[in-house]
């Protein structure tokens, strides 16, 4: 799958991402209705519903048979190999999963590589793959496992490079998403932007978490900072949503329109046009 294709998939799913954002209850960030305590049972228990084999089987159902067969061949070669040959084949397999945009099986392979070759870059790559996996995986019962694996990987990356802003950002996002101690994650992200005020990933995620907790003014400030670094359609989309939630319809229309223009995708254009029509009533 080409980079352009991957970007198109991401853009088409923007509306779904916003729905997902508001459906996730991040314990400690959300004020309970009627000021009642959040029931801890709403946080999913860690499960064993996913491992390398399950991730591979599930991912193969989402790609064509020819590509699936090619991957199976490499998987069998990995099983039979040892030492450096095995690592080389794992890297080949990892690339094949990347080419078909399937981060879950890729994450488990990256984890195996990091365990074999203990380096900062390998553990950071593993954490990033697990982050992509838990962000996109359809089976919610597997998500706690994927988050846990991301946390382990980022902590191992930080053990080798304690100053890594990328690892701190990934770990912060994972802690918040996990829900057990979200403020620990927020503090990590705030520490990142203190050191690097225009850090794209940290500001983007702080903006998303601000949206989730209803702090739309803060979200707007974060997204504007992101836009100083990178003009991306999804950032304008979230900016538009934040403005809309504050009742700033004119600003929301401007942001949504910019998102549509940058994406140049018929699906998003249709959604945004309908949104603008509603805002202009």
- The 8-class DSSP code of residue 93 comes to H
245 vs 16: which has the higher pLDDT? 245
Instruction: State the residue for tokens 């700033």.
Output: 248
pLDDT winner (highest mean) among 152-161, 255-264, 270-279: 152-161
pLDDT of residue 45: 39
pLDDT, tens digit (0-9, with 9 covering 90-100), for 88-99 = 999 999 999 999
Q: What pTM was estimated for this model as a whole?
A: 0.81
Better-predicted residue by pLDDT, 37 or 130: 130
Domains belonging to the chain, first-starting first, are 49-162 (1.25.40)
Local structure of residue 281 (DSSP, 8 states): -
**Which residues, in sequence order, are CB contacts of 263 under 8 Å at separation 6+?**
11, 14, 233, 269
- Alpha-carbon distance of 236 to 41, in angstroms, equals 35
Distance, CA of 20 to chain centre: 12
3-state secondary structure of 74: helix
pLDDT digits (tens, 9 = 90+) for 120-165: 999 999 999 999 999 999 899 999 999 999 999 999 999 999 999 9
pLDDT digits (tens, 9 = 90+) for 169-226: 999 999 999 999 899 999 999 999 999 999 999 999 999 999 999 999 999 999 999 9
C-alpha 148/C-alpha 108 separation (Å) is: 12
pLDDT for res 49: 81
- The pLDDT assigned to 172 comes to 97
Contact 157, 120 (CB under 8 A): yes
Return the closest-CA partner of residue 189 out of 202, 201, 178: 202
Residues 6+ apart with CB under 8 A from 6: 101
Mean pLDDT of the chain: 86
Angstrom distance (rounded) from CA 76 to CA 57: 14
């Amino acid at each position: 799958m080409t980079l352009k294709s991957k970007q198109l998939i991401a853009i088409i799913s923007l509306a779904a991402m916003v729905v997902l954002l508001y459906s996730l209850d991040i314990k400690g960030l959300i004020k309970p209705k009627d000021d009642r305590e959040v029931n801890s049972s709403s946080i999913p228990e860690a499960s064993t519903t996913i491992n390398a084999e399950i991730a591979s089987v599930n991912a193969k159902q989402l790609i064509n048979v020819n590509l699936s067969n090619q991957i199976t061949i490499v998987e069998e070669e990995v099983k039979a190999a040892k030492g450096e040959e095995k690592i080389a084949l794992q890297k080949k397999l990892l690339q094949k999963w990347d080419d078909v945009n399937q981060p879950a099986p890729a994450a488990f392979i990256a984890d195996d590589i990091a365990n074999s070759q203990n380096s900062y870059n390998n553990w950071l790559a593993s954490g990033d793959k697990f982050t992509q996996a838990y962000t996109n995986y359809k089976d919610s019962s597997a998500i706690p496992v994927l988050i846990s694996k991301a946390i382990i990987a980022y902590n191992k990356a930080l053990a080798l490079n304690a100053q890594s802003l990328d690892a701190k950002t990934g770990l912060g996002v994972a802690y918040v998403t996990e829900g057990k101690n979200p403020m620990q994650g927020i503090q990590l992200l705030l520490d990142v932007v203190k050191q690097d005020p225009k850090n794209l990933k940290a500001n983007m995620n702080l903006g998303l978490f601000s949206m989730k907790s209803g702090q739309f003014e803060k979200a707007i400030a974060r997204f504007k900072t992101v836009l100083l670094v990178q003009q991306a359609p999804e950032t304008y989309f979230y900016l538009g949503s934040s403005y809309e939630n504050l009742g700033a319809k004119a600003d929301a229309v401007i942001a949504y329109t910019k998102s549509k223009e940058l994406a140049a995708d018929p699906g998003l254009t249709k959604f945004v046009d309908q949104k603008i029509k509603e805002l202009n009533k």
